[in-house]
A and B are shown apart, each in its own frame.
Chain A
Amino acid sequence: MAKLTISDLKQIKEKHKSTFTLREGGYRAKVTVHMGTCGIAAGARNIVNALMDEIGKSGADDIIVTTSGCAGLCSKEPMVTVEILNNPPVKYKELTEDGIREIFREHVLGGKIVDKFALVIGSETTY
């Protein structure tokens, strides 16, 4: 039997925690903006502002935006993770304001992954 490391356990717990929160709060989609120092310096706040604007325009009330710390890929910031209920999370990298707007419309509202910004789907697959 393969040995489970603490970090595996932590990842599993985190994953369950986030899906649970999503369901509990009645949210259909969650966008996590990476807000470590590197993310902020690369423009993460503008990414949030663009999301605010798009959510406002769409009138959707089942989408939440939150933040996380540095994901260790500082050169690929700004990054976000999109989680649609019952689907694996998708990480997007090197975003621009137009990029996040496109991801919002195509993926968050439309359910279609935007390949050109995608980095990872789920926790293992490199996209």
Chain B
Amino acid sequence: MIDLSLHILDIAENSITAGADEISIKIREDISENILEITVSDNGRGMDKETLLNVSDPFFSTKKVRSNIGLGIPLLKQMAEECGGKIEIETAEGRGTSVTASFQHDHIDRKPIGDIASTVSTLIFCHPGIRFIFEYRRNSGIFTLDTLELREELDGVPINSADVIKFIKDGISSWLKRP
């Protein structure tokens, strides 16, 4: 993975596989604390004890339908630990899961955040029925998006239509470009 936005897409796709219909993605950059924190939470089926214990082992995966080796969480964990951070997983069976990865903001090996607008728009485009809550917090301000609210405003226009997706993507990009 070349940047963190791809890891976020990957972790959010886990939530989708777990049957979630509500997924929240929160990013917090705090320069004075020297921290970058990413949290993906969902209301999916959660993990049982065994899965939770093994989830940081690169060769563990419960998706045994085909030869899946389960790399998503181990990769993120390795990344975070290499950058003076860590990964924390909270999960309850039948209720949901929350994965938090933190990084030392100015760590030389920390990958760039990357195209987060593309990650969020891809998720909404491919999963229009899921409620996504996206929040980006920086010292200079906070950006939020809740597709449930957006859908109400859309008055029946599908949220995954090309124009709406472009609107979302451009909205996130232009906010991020602000100082």
User: Chain A interface (Cβ within 8 Å of chain B)?
Assistant: 7, 10, 33, 35-38, 40-41, 45, 48-49, 52, 55-56, 61, 64-67, 69-72
Q: Shortest distance in angstroms between A49's beta carbon and chain B's nearest beta carbon?
A: 6
Residue B24 interfacial (CB < 8 Å) = no
B125 touches A72 (CB 8 A): no
| CB-based contact B160/A64 at 8 Å | yes
- Asked if B113 CB lies within 8 Å of chain A CBs, one says no
Q: Which residue of B lies closest to A41 (CB)?
A: B1
How many A-B pairs fall under 8 Å by CB?
Answer: 64
By the criterion of a CB under 8 Å from any partner CB, how many residues of chain B are at the interface?
Answer: 29
- Residues in B with CB closer than 8 Å to A65 are 125-126, 160
Q: Are A37 and B66 in contact (CB under 8 A)?
A: no
Complex-state Cα separation, A37 to B71, whole angstroms: 6
> Which residues of A are found within 8 Å of B65, using beta-carbon distances?
7, 10
B161 in contact (CB, < 8 A): yes
19 contacts between A and B (CB under 8 A): A7-B65, A10-B65, A35-B10, A37-B10, A49-B118, A52-B121, A52-B165, A52-B166, A56-B163, A56-B166, A61-B161, A65-B160, A66-B126, A66-B127, A69-B13, A69-B63, A70-B66, A71-B66, A72-B66
B9 adjacent to chain A (CB < 8 Å): yes
**Does B119 make an interface contact (CB < 8 A)?**
yes
CB proximity of B21 to chain A, nearest CB, Å:
14
- Nearest A-chain residue to B70, judged by Cβ: A37
- A83: shortest Cβ distance to chain B, in Å? 15
Residues B63 and A35 in contact, CB atoms below 8 Å apart: no
Whether the pair A37, B122 counts as a contact (CB closer than 8 A) is: no
Q: Please report the C-alpha to C-alpha distance between residue A33 and residue B118 in the assembled complex, in whole angstroms.
A: 15
Which residues of chain B have C-beta atoms less than 8 A from A61's C-beta?
158, 161
Partner of B125, one of A7, A36, A48, A69: A48
A64 to B75, CA, bound (A): 30
Instruction: Kindly state the separation between the CA atoms of A70 and B65 in the bound complex, as whole angstroms.
Output: 10
Query: In the assembled complex, which residues on chain A have CB atoms less than 8 Å from the CB atom of B119?
Result: 45
